[in-house]
Amino acid sequence: MNHSHLPLIDLHRHLDGNIRPKTIWALAQQHNIALPENNFEAFIPHVQVQGSESDLLAFLSKLDWGVAVLKTLDDCKRIAYENVEDAYNAGINYAELRFSPYYMAMNNNLVIADVVAAVIDGVNAACKVYDVKINLIGILSRTFGVDKCQAELDGLLAHKQHLVAIDLAGDEYNFPGEMFVEHFKQVNKAQLQATIHAGEAAGPESIWQAINQLNAKRIGHGVACYQDEKLMDYMLEHNIAIESCLTSNFQTGTIKDLSQHPIKEFLARGLLVCLNTDDPGVQGIELKNEFKIARETLGFSDKDIQQLQENALKASFLSDSDKALLKQKAANKQ
């Protein structure tokens, strides 16, 4: 990449979807948790996608072993620390790491707010060691229903000063955004931003709902945008970003042919679209890999790549002064 003067940014990256297979294996041994295989190599397909899955839910099941082994708050802290190290090792300058504390807490009955604190601790400890800037986004896992999401939100809001945004993730099709309007009123009141997974397993109406009722300033995936001209015009006019995740969209079966990914159209229309990893550990990819796909499979030019990087900076939940600082720092590294 010739644009090393621009920071490399990952805005859609799940911390709990990036638990190293080696760490899952080690924690299972440590806590005597039975895994479906007796040797590590045979275990990898259980936690890492091979090729692509039948649908979003089949893909999401790959994340389950990673959280199943989180027996203690120290384990949560450890995976948070390793996430920062992974981002640094991937050459990333700034990442917004998102995590669902209920999903991390549920298997071993951890306290949700304590999981949030452990993640914050792990990230802070790692940021003292690795030169990478990190912010945190809390996830409400819609798959577990309205009440569980309220408990999750309560745990997140107890530490709201350490978060930049709240996200709604999980089973979009069966748990539509309409169910979570009250939750996002609280998010708004807490003065946190909203980024919503929408238009991945459902259509454009899901994205409209996220914008109009949940106050989304960014849309996770947003693949279905291309089906609705008015929606794309609206998002362009209001600077609502699309967090695109190419490999993930292929692996979840959302997109069958990556060369036909609508990111081409989004970029051509001037939409605020950027490139992200989603679940690097589960997918076995990193951010530079996504830029490589953009070049080689989608035929993006240097100018396109530069635009994607500039869009990520613009769409980030950073203050204007922090954005300028990040850009300056990347330029100085040349």
% residues pLDDT > 70 (the chain): 99
User: How far apart are the C-alpha atoms of 332 and 298, rounded to whole Å?
Assistant: 30
Q: Is residue 255 part of a domain?
A: yes
According to the model, what pLDDT value does residue 238 have?
A: 98
Query: Taking 60 as the threshold, does the pLDDT of residue 2 lie above it?
Result: no
Tell whether 4 is covered by a domain: no
Q: Which tokens in the block code for residue 314?
A: 């613009």
CA 82 – CA 77 distance, rounded (Å): 9
From CA 220, how far away is CA 314, in angstroms rounded?
16
334: pLDDT strictly greater than 70:
no
In a domain, 204, yes or no: yes
Q: 3-state class of 175 per DSSP?
A: coil
Residue 194 has pLDDT above 50, yes or no: yes
Comparing CA positions, the residue from 83, 85, 77, 167 lying closest to residue 122 is 77
pLDDT at 306: 97
| Predicted pLDDT at 5 | 84
Other residues' Cβ atoms within 10 Å of the Cβ of residue 229: 11
Span 47-105, pLDDT tens digits: 999 888 888 888 889 999 999 999 999 999 999 999 999 999 999 999 999 999 999 99
pLDDT of 177 strictly over 50: yes
Would you place residue 46 in the very low, low, confident or very high pLDDT band (cuts 50, 70, 90)? very high
Residue 104: give the domain boundaries: 9-332
Q: How many domains does the chain have?
A: 1
Supply the residues annotated as catalytic: 200
Residue 303 has pLDDT above 80, yes or no: yes
Q: Each residue of 116-171: pLDDT tens digit? A: 999 999 999 999 999 999 999 999 999 999 999 999 999 999 999 999 999 999 99
d(CA 61, CA 48): 10
| Confidence grade of residue 4 (pLDDT, cut at 50, 70, 90) | low
* Average pLDDT over all residues of the chain: 96
pLDDT in tens, 14-39: 999 999 999 999 999 999 999 999 99
User: Phi/psi of residue 177, each to 5°?
Assistant: -55, -25
Question: What's the rounded mean pLDDT across residues 205-225?
Answer: 98
- Dihedral of the CA atoms 209, 215, 217, 222 (nearest 10)? -20
Q: By three-state DSSP, how is residue 270 classified?
A: coil
**Is 3 inside any structural domain?**
no
Q: Let me know if residue 147 belongs to a domain.
A: yes
**Is 1 within a domain?**
no
Q: Answer whether residue 3 shows pLDDT above 80.
A: no
Domain assignment present for 137: yes
What pLDDT score does 1 carry?
Answer: 44
pLDDT exceeding 90 applies to what percent of the chain? Answer: 93
Q: In this predicted structure, what is the pLDDT of residue 51?
A: 81
CATH of the domain at 118: 3.20.20.140
- Cα–Cα distance between 77 and 95 in angstroms, integer? 17
Residue 176 scores a pLDDT above 80: yes
